[in-house]
């Protein structure tokens, strides 16, 4: 069942009924982990509520929704300064009336606030909505039960909405949208009932609010930076691969001059944050695979990278071309074998250097890598130095 504005007679009856909430009202205290708060937004006739137990947020709210000139709903929120994202698994609970629930960014708690949201209802419709801007849907998702993973991201003034069936591989729920808003926004969860006389309920678990610049993909267990390369010795360099041929990989690190590396020394190209499972597979011999953003695994070999076009030779489909910027998470080239008798230096930008010796001063860490040469980094850029795990 899609979410539509109420019919005119119902709206007139609603306006003539008992007094309603006209602005955001702070709800009574509830058992919520700090700094979460909850409130009714707009014209809500029945007060909403929010609670937390067993790592699950449960929201109850009335209201007609978050479309049109003004919203009426119940929101669970906190402040977020600058870039960030929120992820949650959402299950709407239908009793007398189906719930519409999702995630939201809001400029304020006023009913006419600018916002960017993604919602899902008990009929299985999912859509991104905003004010001002486009309503992207609804977009059809799996019917019957509205149990879905939702994700919202902010990068500058660009907002994007995603959905997933497993919380790992994300499908865009419409195109990204640019909104002119302040750096400080409210971020959180929202529920409404498509009616103002009853409460609808929704549960949110696996809620993760993650400050910082979001990538196209997100894996909580990722050992990799958002983009880079993995060397065959287990070292990881954060940066961008600019070209790949059958003999050479051209790469620009985030903190060093450009490199041209022999292809046989590079284990994988990382275009977006990759999962831990991909890292584990790199240690397998003859693991030649491209992992796509939608979760598809293409077995085969990488031929070239020219611009944003990654050319593959699939075992099943033959020659293929994929857009590395938008469609590819990572591509394996050669087997990666990390030595246990090496120091592991992890930096704040996500790079990892596997080296034989380390020299430390009060302000710097120095080392020499067989491919990268001598490097000296300030301690402020070092996240961790792990000693060898095997006898030397």
pLDDT at 183: 95
| Same domain as 325, residue 356 | no
Pairing of strands 56-63, 177-178: unpaired
pLDDT at 140: 37
Least confident residue range of 16-20, 78-82, 172-176, 300-304: 16-20
Q: Of 186, 211, 236, which marks where a domain is finished?
A: 211
pLDDT at 8: 31
Least confident residue range of 83-87, 153-157, 170-174, 249-253: 170-174
Please indicate, yes or no, if residue 220 is contained in any of the structural domains. Answer: no
CATH number for 104 = 2.60.120.200
> Does the model's pTM come out above 0.85?
no
Please indicate, yes or no, if residue 221 is contained in any of the structural domains. Answer: no
> What's the average model confidence in pLDDT over 31-36?
93
| Same domain as 88, residue 200 | yes
Is residue 98 very low, low, confident or very high in pLDDT (cuts 50, 70, 90)? Answer: confident
Q: What angle do CA 246, 344, 293 make, to 5 degrees?
A: 50
pLDDT at 4 over 50: no
| Same domain as 193, residue 234 | no
The number of folded domains in the chain is 3
| Same domain as 183, residue 45 | yes
pLDDT more than 70, % of the chain: 85
Please indicate, yes or no, if residue 216 is contained in any of the structural domains. Answer: no
pLDDT at 9: 36
| Same domain as 351, residue 298 | no
> What's the average model confidence in pLDDT over 22-26?
51
Please indicate, yes or no, if residue 338 is contained in any of the structural domains. Answer: no
pLDDT at 211 over 60: yes
pLDDT at 150: 95
Close Cβ partners of 373 (under 8 Å, ≥ 6 residues apart): none
| Same domain as 204, residue 292 | no
Three-state DSSP state, 257: coil
pLDDT at 27 over 70: no
Q: Please write the tens of the pLDDT for every residue from 39-57.
A: 999 989 899 999 999 999 9
Please indicate, yes or no, if residue 243 is contained in any of the structural domains. Answer: yes
| Same domain as 80, residue 44 | yes
Is residue 145 very low, low, confident or very high in pLDDT (cuts 50, 70, 90)? Answer: very low
Measured CA to CA, the distance from residue 314 to residue 276 in angstroms comes to: 23
> What's the average model confidence in pLDDT over 285-291?
93
| Same domain as 253, residue 173 | no
Measured CA to CA, the distance from residue 152 to residue 154 in angstroms comes to: 7
Count Cβ atoms within 10 A of the Cβ of residue 189 and give its class: 0-12 exposed, 13-18 middle, 19 or more buried: buried
| Same domain as 15, residue 82 | yes
| Same domain as 266, residue 245 | yes
Measured CA to CA, the distance from residue 2 to residue 24 in angstroms comes to: 25
| Same domain as 203, residue 66 | yes
Please indicate, yes or no, if residue 391 is contained in any of the structural domains. Answer: no
Distance of CA 13 to the CA centre of its chain: 42
Number of Cβ within 10 Å of residue 29's Cβ equals 8
Domain that holds residue 362: 343-386
Helices and strands in the chain: count of H runs, count of E runs? 2, 32
> What's the average model confidence in pLDDT over 280-298?
93
Is residue 338 very low, low, confident or very high in pLDDT (cuts 50, 70, 90)? Answer: confident
H-helix segments, 120-228: none
pLDDT at 346 over 90: yes
C-alpha dihedral (39, 73, 125, 2), degrees to nearest 10: 170
pLDDT at 21 over 90: no
Please indicate, yes or no, if residue 256 is contained in any of the structural domains. Answer: yes
Q: Of 211, 240, 257, which marks where a domain is finished?
A: 211
pLDDT at 206 over 90: yes
Pairing of strands 84-93, 73-81: unpaired
Q: Of 178, 211, 244, which marks where a domain is finished?
A: 211
Is residue 24 very low, low, confident or very high in pLDDT (cuts 50, 70, 90)? Answer: low
Please indicate, yes or no, if residue 223 is contained in any of the structural domains. Answer: no
| Same domain as 206, residue 69 | yes
């Amino acid at each position: 069942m899609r979410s539509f504005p109420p019919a005119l007679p119902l709206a007139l009856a609603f306006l003539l009924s008992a007094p309603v909430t006209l602005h955001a009202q702070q709800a009574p205290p509830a058992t919520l982990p700090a700094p979460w708060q909850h409130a009714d937004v707009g014209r809500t006739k029945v007060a909403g509520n929010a609670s937390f137990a067993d790592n699950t947020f449960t929201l109850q709210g009335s209201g007609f929704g978050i479309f049109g000139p003004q919203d009426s709903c119940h929101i669970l929120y906190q402040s977020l300064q600058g870039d960030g994202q929120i992820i949650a698994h959402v299950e709407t609970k239908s009793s007398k009336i189906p719930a519409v629930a999702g995630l939201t960014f809001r400029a304020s708690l006023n009913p006419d606030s600018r916002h960017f949201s993604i919602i899902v209802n008990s009929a299985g419709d999912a859509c991104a909505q905003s004010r001002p801007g486009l309503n992207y849907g609804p977009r059809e998702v799996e019917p019957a039960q509205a149990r879905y993973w939702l994700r919202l991201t902010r990068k500058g003034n660009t907002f994007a909405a995603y959905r997933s069936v497993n919380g790992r591989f994300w499908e865009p729920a419409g195109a990204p949208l640019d909104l002119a808003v302040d750096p400080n926004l409210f971020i959180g969860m929202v529920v409404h009932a498509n009616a103002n006389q009853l409460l609808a309920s929704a549960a949110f678990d696996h809620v993760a609010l993650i400050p910082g610049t979001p990538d196209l993909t997100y894996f909580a267990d990722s050992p990799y930076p958002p983009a880079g390369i993995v060397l065959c010795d287990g070292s990881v360099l954060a940066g961008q691969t600019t070209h790949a041929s059958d003999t050479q990989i051209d790469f620009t690190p985030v903190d060093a001059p450009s490199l041209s590396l022999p292809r046989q020394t590079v284990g994988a190209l990382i275009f977006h944050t990759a999962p831990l499972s991909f890292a584990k597979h790199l240690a397998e011999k003859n693991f030649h695979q491209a992992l796509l953003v939608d979760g598809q695994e293409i077995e085969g070999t990488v031929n070239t990278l020219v611009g944003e076009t990654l050319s593959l030779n699939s075992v099943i489909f033959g020659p293929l071309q994929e857009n590395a910027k938008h469609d590819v998470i990572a591509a394996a080239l050669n087997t990666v074998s990390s030595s246990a008798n090496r120091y592991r230096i992890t930096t704040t930008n996500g790079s990892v250097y596997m080296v034989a010796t380390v020299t430390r001063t009060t302000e710097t860490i120095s080392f020499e890598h067989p491919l990268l040469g001598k490097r000296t980094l300030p301690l402020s850029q070092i996240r961790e130095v792990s000693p060898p795990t095997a006898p030397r």
